[in-house]
Amino acid sequence: MKSPPKKSPTGAAEFLGGAGRAQDVASIRLPNIRRVAFAGRSNVGKSSLLNALAGAKVARVSREPGKTRELNFFRWKKWILVDLPGYGFAKVSHGARSQWGREITAWLKSDGNLGLVVSLVDGRHGFQPLDLELLAFLRGEGIPCLVAFTKMDKWKSANQRREAERKLSSECAARAVTDFVFVSSTAKGGVAPLASALHKLKRPE
Ligand SMILES: Nc1nc2c(ncn2[C@@H]2O[C@H](COP(=O)(O)OP(=O)(O)OP(=O)(O)O)[C@@H](O)[C@H]2O)c(=O)[nH]1
Ligand SMILES: [Mg+2]
C-alpha cells in the first residue's frame, strides 16, 4: 500500500503526519489533545489495533515485520493515536534498532500530552524481555500504561483462550501489572475492551 490516506472513508480518523525522529514531531501541527501511543514488538499488531479501534484502515499493516518506520499520528475522536515503529525487529542492524529505541523513548518522555501508552504483547507468547524493558521504562517515567494482549483470536477453542487468559493474567499479577485487556483486531468487537479503557481516560486539563 502507498502512503496512508489523509482521511478514513468514514472521516472518523485522519492522518496528521509522520516523523522519523522525535525532533521532527514538532513540525507536525498536532492539536492540544491527549495522545494514546501504540507500542510493542514488531509485528505484534499495533497498526492493526489502531485501525480496528478507529474503524478504518488508516495505518499500514503488513505480514512482514518492520512495516511502521515512523511515528505516525492520527486524529480520532478526542484523541491522537500514535502508531509507533516496533522494537525487536531482527532484520535491522543493532545500531538502527537502538536508534529507534532512542527516538521513541525521547518522544515518549518529551510529549506533555501523552495520556496513555498501550503496550501490545502477543497473547500467544506473553511478556518478552523487550516488553518488560518498555514497562520498566514507562513506570520509571510515570507514564500510564495499558497492556493489550493481541491476536487472541488465534486460539482454536474457547477453552484454550480461557486457559491462555488465565496464564497471562497471572503473569500480570506476578509483575504487578493491573491494567490489561485481551484483544483481537480481526474479530468483530475484539477491540471493545480497549475502547472502553480509552473512554475512561481523564480528559486533558
Ligand atoms: N489473527 C490476527 N492477526 C493479526 C491481528 N493483529 C494483527 N495481525 C496480523 O499481524 C501482522 C502484523 O500486523 P501489524 O498491525 O502490521 O503489526 P505492527 O505491530 O504494526 O508491525 P510493525 O509496524 O512492523 O511494527 C499482519 O499480518 C496482521 O494482519 C489479530 O488480532 N489477529
Ligand atoms: Mg505497524
pLDDT at 67 > cutoff 70: yes
Burial label, 136 (beta-carbon count in 10 A; 0-12, 13-18, 19+): exposed
Please say whether the beta carbons of 146 and 180 come within 8 A.
yes
DSSP class of residue 120 equals: E
- Answer whether residue 3 shows pLDDT above 90: no
Confidence grade of residue 104 (pLDDT, cut at 50, 70, 90):
confident
Residue 175, pLDDT score: 96
Mean pLDDT for the stretch of residues 135-153: 95
* Over residues 12-25, mean pLDDT: 90
**pLDDT > 70? residue 90:** no
Give the C-alpha distances (Å, rounded to integers) separating 113 from 54, 86, 145, 147. 20, 21, 14, 19
* Of 100 and 128, the one with more pLDDT: 128
Ligand 1 within 6 A of 47 CB?
A: yes
CATH of the domain at 180: 3.40.50.300
Average pLDDT, the chain: 87
* 204: in domain: no
Which is nearest to 41 in space by CA: 139, 119, 156? Answer: 119
**Pocket flag, ligand 1, residue 124 (CB < 6 Å):** no
- Domain contains 205: no
CB 103 within 8 A of CB 22: yes
Instruction: Identify the residue with better confidence: 66 or 18.
Output: 18
Q: Percentage of the chain with pLDDT > 90?
A: 66
Residue nearest atom 30 in ligand 1 by C-alpha distance:
151
Q: How wide is the angle at C-alpha 202 spanned by C-alphas 196 and 205, nearest 5°? A: 150
Residue 4 lies in a domain: no
Domain that holds residue 93: 13-199
Residue minimizing CA distance to atom 9 of ligand 1 = 45
Ligand nearest to the CA of 39: 1
- Residue 8 counted as domain residue: no
User: 7 in a domain, yes or no?
Assistant: no
Ligand 1 center from residue 191 Cα (angstroms): 14
pLDDT range class, residue 204, cuts 50, 70, 90 = very low
Average pLDDT over residues 117-122: 97
Q: Is the CB of 51 under 6 A from ligand 1?
A: no
Query: Is residue 90 included in any domain, yes or no?
Result: yes
157 lies in some domain: yes
CA distance 150 to 148: 6
Within 8 A by CB and 6+ apart from 120, the residues are 38, 39, 40, 41, 44, 45, 46, 49, 147, 148, 149, 150
Total count of domains within the chain: 1
In a domain, 127, yes or no: yes
Distance, in Å, from the CA atom of 79 to the CA atom of 114, rounded to the nearest integer, reads 10
Confidence of residue 197 (pLDDT cuts 50, 70, 90): confident
